[in-house]
Amino acid sequence: MSLLKYFKPTSSTDDDTDSTGQQPSTSSKRPQADRKKEYERTKRKRGFLPKWTKEFTWLEYDHALQLMYCRVCKDCPDKADTQSSFYLGCDSFRKLSIQTHDKSKSHLMCVLVKRAKENPKDTSMGKAIAKINASNFEILKKLFRTAYYVAKEEIALAKFPGLCKLQMANGVELKNTYINDHACGEFIKSMAHVQREKTTEELTAENTRFLSVLSDGSTDSGIIEQEIVYVRYLSNGSPETRMVKIVDVKHGHAAGILDAIDDAVAGVGISPDLWESKVICANFDGASVMMGDVNGVAGRLKRRIPHIVILHCVAHKLELAVLDAIKKLPFLLEFEETIKSVFKMYYYSPKKRRELKEIGRLIEEKVAHFSGLKSTRWVPSRLRSLKAIETNYAATIMHLENMSTSQRGEEAAKARGIMKAMQTTRFVKCLHFMIDYSTILAKCSEGFQHEQIFIGHVKEIIQSTTSKLIRLKTVPGESSAKLSDLLTGKLYCFVIIYE
């Protein structure tokens, strides 16, 4: 018996022919994935499915904008990925997109934070705190207060253990737990987080109807350009000012600064729509990059928020006004240069300061410290410098005279020049008048910087300051009034002066 009947004959057709002997169609050869992509691109129209919100409770849909958002991530902006599509608004209506966000690291962190806010006792920290007895809780309160002092006074974290040991030596019970700089840093972060949440709650509250933004540039210890942003609002009828954030500026132009302000505002949980609806005023210094009407931060804000009012900081305007007034009087320019020369001579030379103090000890007069003249906050620093010149006048003249005779070259010539300018009746009278003048302006500057000031108070302060300055024309100020006792003939503080 033949075994061939148990085997079917092989087809003579190759893989490219079907059972009928014909070539298969091109469409049947096309990969399934390509057909699916073409269908997605040309025929299928995706939309939001309400049933998704039952499976993903954090999902919310804006019917007006036709965008999906993550409610949890928007409630926790400091932990969320602010560049995520579900934070900004997602229009990819695919379940896969939702599932991907649901498993993302930033979303899971936001979920944990939200649970901790809603049920703090269920968190690991909450359970740990529940086990702490009353005495340990009191110790933690003292440690937190000490950490707050370190942060408030800008003391190095490394000083925290020493402060704790000092308190323990004075009888304060602290134990040895958490007595290190790392714990101090954690305490400060915790307090900052609580304060940031409080600020967010106040700024987003319904009764906080209007906001003003205050911004100024600065540099940190690493000479990195930063922008410090404050927000001002009314709380129970009283103005409140809160620091929002210090942000690194990526670019020093107006667009970069405005981006930094936006980042700071977003960092406390204020959405762009809420921010633009509440902000009514912006306060900057007089730099062109800030106040420029076209390409400055002010101009860009006006185009974005047409109703916003831009103000030039009144305290800064006062400084500029005083400097402009001095430039119009030639003698005041000479007087200003003499004051600067004295301060430069002693501020940068410990040896000269030591010699000046020795002369003050010999004539039994206390020598005031010659601190550096500030380019910012010029009015208050100038008042301190003028009072230091008045206090140290006799000792300074004696020291300059000694330098002019005992030294040679440039130092001796400089000392003779300063001494010649100071030993005139005109300089002495101007010194006392400028002390009275600067005292009035310093009080005006302090009034402009008062925490509780309203814009309506500015006019009152200006009117009061103006009347006081006009009064100086006819009635001598306190410093000018005592000049008659100090100036006798050609002697002032027992120093010969010339016309």
Please give the Cα distance from 421 to 499 (Å, whole number).
11
pLDDT tens for 410-444 read: 888 998 999 899 988 899 899 999 999 999 999 99
What pLDDT does residue 224 have?
A: 78
pLDDT of 310 strictly over 60: yes
In the structure, what pLDDT confidence band is assigned to residue 189 with cuts at 50, 70 and 90? very high
pTM more than 0.85? no
What pLDDT does residue 406 have?
A: 82
* Coil, helix or strand at residue 352: helix
In the structure, what pLDDT confidence band is assigned to residue 134 with cuts at 50, 70 and 90? low
Mean of the per-residue pLDDT values for the chain? 83
Nearest partner of 438 among 323, 361, 358, 333, judged by Cα: 323
pLDDT tens for 334-365 read: 998 898 889 888 888 889 889 989 998 888 88
pLDDT of 23 strictly over 60: no
pLDDT tens for 455-490 read: 888 999 999 999 999 999 899 889 888 887 887 777
Q: CA of 23: how far to CAs of 11, 12, 17, 95, in Å?
A: 15, 14, 5, 40
How big, in percent rounded to 5, are the helix, strand and coil portions of the chain?
60, 10, 30
In the structure, what pLDDT confidence band is assigned to residue 121 with cuts at 50, 70 and 90? low
What pLDDT does residue 122 have?
A: 64
pLDDT tens for 243-298 read: 888 888 888 888 999 999 988 888 888 888 888 889 999 999 888 889 888 889 99
The distance of Cα 351 from the centroid of its chain, to the nearest Å, equals: 38
Please answer whether residues 499 and 423 qualify as being in contact, where contact means their C-beta atoms are separated by less than 8 angstroms: no
